[in-house]
Each structure stands twice: as C-alpha cells, then as structure tokens.
C-alpha cells in the first residue's frame, strides 16, 4: 500500500537557519503530494502541494519539489522564524489507485519543528 | 467564515458511553472525511463519504459509524467508548480527484 516516510523530530534550529525536512513516498498510482502544518492546539492547514513530477509548490517562504525519480518531496525554507514552530506533515493522495473515487490522504508521522530565538 | 467546523471542540466522557461529533463544511465539496490523530500525532484516515456513499472504511471498529444527513454534514457516532478511543478527531472535505483537503479544528476526545 501507499506510505509516506518523513524525518522524525524534534528538529531544533536557530532563527534564520536553513530548513530541510525530508519526505519520501511509495505509491501504486501517480499521487498528488502535500505538506500540511499543525500549529500548537490547532487543526491542519495546507502549506503547499504539487500534483505532477517536477512541480514546485511554494507558500510563506517554504518550497518543495515533486521528484518522481527519487520519490521525494522535501520541504525547504531559507530562513526560519520562531513563528514557524509547528508540526509538519507530508502526505499523498493516490487518486488513480483509488479507481477514480474519493480517497483519504496518507500521512507521514509528522516532524516537530522548534525554532529558537 | 469557517470553512470546516466541528463540535464540540473538547469531549470528556466515561467508558461505555455513546457520543457524537458533528462536522459541517460550507465549501460545497462533494467528499468529506474523518481522521484520527493519536497521542504521537500520527494521522490516519477513518472514513470518507462521497455523495452519501461510503467510499473508504479502514480497519475501524464497527463501534464507529459516520452519518451524513446531507452533503454539507458528516457526523461521527461512537458507541461503547473505550479508553483507546481517546484521540483528536479531524473532519475534512474536498472535491474528488486528489484535490486539496480542508480540515476542521479537531475534536479532542478523552475517555475516562
């Protein structure tokens, strides 16, 4: 079945540091890929997404590129802020494998990011 | 305007009780979902509904049953609650076809 593997935290960085959170996936179809963010005590918010190979999703200074050859979707940000402290989830939606019907997201286990001033 | 809303936000109850969590979306989406997030933050799909038809039912005990009175609502009913049901439950909605899912704020359930 489908699966998502992401680096487990916590990941602790200083403000203005460069961030990379690795994410790799396995899927039977041709999935869409997502990064969601969960701030403390809140629900999940979509951060960015990519639907086909070589697409780059970007939002709020975060970027991730859909790499089909390496089945990866790593999240990067050039300069993190304290306000970026949250749990980040990589996820996929394998529409084709579902036979064209609705399908749920398959999530990684989440990476807890802590940014220190 | 809240896109996906859930009530209640917190639910504390005793083992063996029956409870419901309500979910409503005003996005006009055709598909709604329920996810469970355990104490380690791991998220897993429980159900999805598309046009009042159950599409997915993962390995969820039959004590859990989704009910959709209309396209905008998908409520989660839980019978005979157990300690292991304690978790945060998230409702979500989307259009079918691998499109973005929008999540509600979550309901934190604690079974004592």
Contact state of A109 with B41 under an 8 Å Cβ cutoff: yes
- Check whether B105 has a pLDDT greater than 50: yes
**Chain B residue with Cα closest to A43:** B105
**CB burial class (10 A; 0-12, 13-18, 19+) of residue A56?**
exposed
Q: What is the pLDDT of residue A100?
A: 45
Cβ contacts (< 8 Å) between B55 and chain A: which residues? 98, 101-103
Contact between B100 and B2 under an 8 Å Cβ cutoff? The reply is no
Contact state of A104 with B45 under an 8 Å Cβ cutoff: yes
Q: Which of A61, A2, A11, A16 is nearest to A35 (CA)?
A: A61
**Chain A residue with Cα closest to B37:** A109
Q: What is the distance in angstroms between the Cα of A24 and the nearest Cα belonging to chain B?
A: 16
Q: Does B48 touch chain A (CB under 8 A)?
A: yes
What does the pLDDT look like over B7-26, one tens digit per residue? 999 999 999 999 999 999 99
> What's the rounded mean pLDDT across residues B90-108?
87
What lies within 8 Å, CB to CB, of B40 at 6+ separation is A109
Q: Which of A13, A3, A2, A5 is nearest to A81 (CA)?
A: A13
- Between A18-32, A53-67, B48-62, B81-95, the lowest mean confidence (pLDDT) is in B48-62
Higher-pLDDT residue of A9, B67: B67
What does the pLDDT look like over A13-50, one tens digit per residue? 999 999 999 999 999 878 999 999 999 888 899 999 99
Contact state of A109 with B100 under an 8 Å Cβ cutoff: no
Contact state of B48 with A103 under an 8 Å Cβ cutoff: yes
- Check whether A103 has a pLDDT greater than 70: no
- Between A75-84, B4-13, B46-55, B76-85, the lowest mean confidence (pLDDT) is in B46-55
Cβ contacts (< 8 Å) between B106 and chain A: which residues? 42-43
SS3 B84: helix
């Amino acid at each position: 079945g489908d699966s998502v593997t992401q680096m487990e935290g916590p990941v602790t960085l200083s403000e203005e540091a460069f961030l990379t959170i690795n994410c790799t996936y396995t899927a039977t179809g041709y999935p869409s890929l997502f990064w969601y963010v969960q701030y403390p005590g809140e629900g999940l918010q979509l951060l960015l997404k990519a639907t086909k190979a070589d697409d780059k999703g970007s939002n709020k200074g975060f970027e991730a590129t859909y790499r089909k050859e390496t089945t990866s979707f790593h999240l990067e940000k050039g300069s993190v802020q304290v306000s970026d402290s949250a749990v980040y989830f990589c996820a996929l939606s394998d529409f084709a494998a579902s036979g064209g019907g609705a399908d749920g997201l398959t999530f990684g286990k989440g990476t807890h990011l802590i940014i220190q001033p | 305007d809240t896109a996906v809303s859930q009530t209640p936000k917190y639910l504390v109850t005793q083992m063996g009780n029956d409870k419901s969590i309500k979910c409503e979306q005003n996005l006009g989406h055709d598909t709604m979902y329920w996810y469970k997030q355990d104490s380690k933050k791991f998220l897993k799909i429980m159900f999805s509904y598309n046009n009042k038809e159950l599409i997915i039912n993962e390995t969820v005990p039959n004590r859990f049953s989704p009910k959709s009175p209309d396209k905008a609502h998908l409520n989660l009913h839980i019978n005979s609650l157990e300690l292991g049901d304690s978790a945060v439950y998230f409702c979500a909605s989307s259009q079918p076809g691998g499109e973005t899912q929008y999540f509600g704020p979550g309901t934190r359930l604690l079974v004592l």
